[in-house]
Amino acid sequence: MSGLVQPYPLHGSIEAEDAKEVLRKAIRTNRQSRSERLRKEAAVAIADVIETIPEVAAATCVATYAARPTEPGMTETLERLSARGVRVLLPVLGAGLQRDWALYDGPADLQVRAPGRPPEPGTPTLGADAIAQADVVVAPALAVDSRGVRLGQGGGWYDRALEHLRPGTKVVAVVFPEEVYDASDRPLPVEPHDKLVHAVATPQGWRWLE
């Protein structure tokens, strides 16, 4: 765990959808308190950790993400994958929940196309089913619990995108250490449409989930 306290402002009577919003707000506040220096250090540590995941080490195509400023940084990871000759797919967000992917072509190509959205590549889009080319997915999250329940940003983008995966493809969620929850006493709220993840990675290491 880092020095930050794990937010869990939930009680038994709250509905799952409302509970998610309460948690999102608390976790985002926590993330904003992390200094730029600590974020940069975490980004390098995350790249070191992700390289040790066997599915990533063996991959020729990885679907991942370009981070927003307060998210666990991915610039170092993207550059290491690219330098190794891996095809790196990044999300392209269309209108509403429209899903698309495009190839990473270096940090200079990434641009924030709309306020609040993550940086996106300017390379040609490949279609929603391009994620089926990925050997492994390294996905953003606000939190993950020990069952594999992932708390996303709230748009449902990844839950729908993951429907296009090849069967058996592993999904690794990336979070900060205090955002990994023990489901035995602090389960994350879950709804029927939520897609579980198989592993979690933090700057301190990674592990398979139940």
Percent share of the chain, pLDDT over 70 = 97
Q: How many CB atoms lie within 10 A of CB 118?
A: 21
Q: In the chain, where are the structural domains located?
A: 16-208
CA–chain centroid gap for 81, Å, is 16
11/171: higher pLDDT: 171
Supply the pTM of this predicted model.
0.94
pLDDT at site 36 = 92
Whether 179 has a pLDDT exceeding 90, the answer reads yes
Q: CA–CA distance from 49 to each of 55, 157, 175, 205 (Å)?
A: 12, 25, 12, 6
Question: Per residue in 117-143, pLDDT tens?
Answer: 899 999 999 999 999 999 999 999 999
In whole angstroms, what is the distance from residue 35 CA to residue 128 CA?
A: 35
Q: 120 by DSSP, 3-state: which?
A: strand
In whole angstroms, what is the distance from residue 203 CA to residue 76 CA?
A: 12
Decide which of 3.40.109.10, 3.40.50.300, 3.40.50.10420, 3.30.200.20 is the CATH code for 16-208.
3.40.50.10420
Identify the CA nearest to 103 among candidates 161, 60, 157, 51.
60
Identify the CA nearest to 144 among candidates 88, 193, 209.
209
Question: Per residue in 145-159, pLDDT tens?
Answer: 999 999 999 888 888
Question: Per residue in 26-47, pLDDT tens?
Answer: 999 999 999 999 999 999 999 9
Contact 47, 127 (CB under 8 A): no
pLDDT at site 2 = 56
